[in-house]
Amino acid sequence: MSSLSATHPPKGLEGIVATTSRICYIDGDRGILAYRGIDIHELADHSTFEEVCYLLWFGKLPSRSELQDLRSRLAKERTLDPAILDFLRKAPKNALPMDVLRTAVSALSFYDADEKANDHDANVRKAVRLTSQMAMIVAAYDRIRKGQQVVEPNPSLSHAANFLLMLTGEKPSPTAERAFDIALILHADHELNASTFAARVTAATLSDMHSASTSAIGALKGPLHGGANEAAFRILETIAKAGADPVDHVRGMLAQKKKIPGFGHRVYHTEDPRATHLRQMSRELGASSGQEQWFEMSRRIEQLLNTEKKLNANVDFYSASTYHVLGIDLDLFTPIFAVSRISGWAAHVIEQLDDNRLIRPRADYIGPAYPQKYVPIDRR
């Protein structure tokens, strides 16, 4: 018996509009993704992650001086309170990087100059700060757990190059920097994906940016969301280790009714436009580094799923082989997704708070009919 006369949408709020938004346009039938109306293909071809941050946070492309100003602000915020570095040093060396990132971002609130402010301008400052700090946390924890020195940030580098420097200890090649910058652009926002929605639900109680970002990281961790890029590469790795045929292996998974991570998407009914770029990057980086096997394996799996299951690769499938060829550890794939997506989370939190209403749906109660008797313990 339902107690609610409310609308009863499909499970998982599929197709339900939870809010209006001016940030991200998706046409799932035509395979279109655009930030503030600008097509993702144009941004991937011509823009930078810093410019995309500006676009997401301020609603327009920056002038040269506006862009320079944001780059300076991001570079200036490349600093972590010593207590955060101490926390990273004391975290168990086998802790999951996503758990460490979630905890460290939550702890950043203690040291944020704007912790008690929740107005628009304070939240833009927090967006800048969190974008710089999250990249540093991911890179620093990876080095610490490997027993390496934390690398000092370089304020003259782009966000992408500085992250790769802090991760690897070496200034990246222009090819690697650009590839990583494009990956950051492609992952920056995607409308009301689950982590962004978790961030907006959190912020809509008038809670703060750190709480919202912490929620988002927790949601991104799941294998039905950001965790899929890591899960996708684990399959490639299993196939490579076993020397198996990728098509046979994936056919075997399908026969066991297993989901293949990196395929299918709630919103796209055609190719995810981000997959188009990542496929090309995976191919090019594989060829230039002499590691073609990951791309080739991926391509065969994709063709199988296209043909036999009518499933398209999503953003996670080719980011897996791309990140691997860039020399990034498997369990950093999802943290790196977060390093980019903080730009979108912050934009959505700011938009939510600019015109807020508590996000509080209902559940349809299907449990024991009301009223059940409270039976005293002696008579149970």
Instruction: Point out the residues that are catalytic.
Output: 265, 316
> Is residue 260 close enough to count as binding its own copies by CB under 8 A?
no
Q: Which residues of 206-228 are buried (b: 16+ CB within 10 A; e: fewer)?
A: ebbbbbbbbbbbbbbbebebbbb
> Is residue 32 close enough to count as binding its own copies by CB under 8 A?
yes
**Nearest-approach distance from CB 293 to its own copies, in angstroms:** 29
Nearer to its own copies, 212 or 297 (CB): 212
**Nearest-approach distance from CB 242 to its own copies, in angstroms:** 23
> Is residue 82 close enough to count as binding its own copies by CB under 8 A?
no
Residues 191-220 that bind its own copies (CB under 8 A): 191-195, 197-198, 201-208, 210-212, 214-215, 217-220
- Pick the closest to residue 150 from 107, 88, 101, 93 (CA basis): 88
CA distances 137 to 2, 5, 216, 255, Å, are 47, 47, 16, 41
**Nearest-approach distance from CB 16 to its own copies, in angstroms:** 5
> Per-residue contact track with its own copies, 130 to 169, x per CB under 8 A?
----------------------------------------
> Which residue from 143, 222, 276, 289 is in contact with its own copies, where contact means CB under 8 A?
222
Spatial distance between the Cα atoms of 339 and 319, rounded to a whole number of angstroms: 14
- Pick the closest to residue 321 from 361, 342, 350, 292 (CA basis): 292
CB 209 within 8 A of CB 128: no
> Is residue 58 close enough to count as binding its own copies by CB under 8 A?
no
**Nearest-approach distance from CB 2 to its own copies, in angstroms:** 8
> Which residue from 72, 110, 120, 169 is in contact with its own copies, where contact means CB under 8 A?
110
Residues 293-322 that bind its own copies (CB under 8 A): none
Q: Is the link from the previous residue into 371 a cis peptide, with omega within 30 of 0?
A: yes
Nearer to its own copies, 12 or 327 (CB): 12
Nearer to its own copies, 14 or 152 (CB): 14
Residue 239: helix, strand or coil by DSSP?
helix
CB 185 within 8 A of CB 48: yes
- The radius of gyration of the chain's CA atoms, rounded to the nearest angstrom, is 22
> Per-residue contact track with its own copies, 317 to 356, x per CB under 8 A?
----------------------------------------
Nearer to its own copies, 145 or 283 (CB): 145
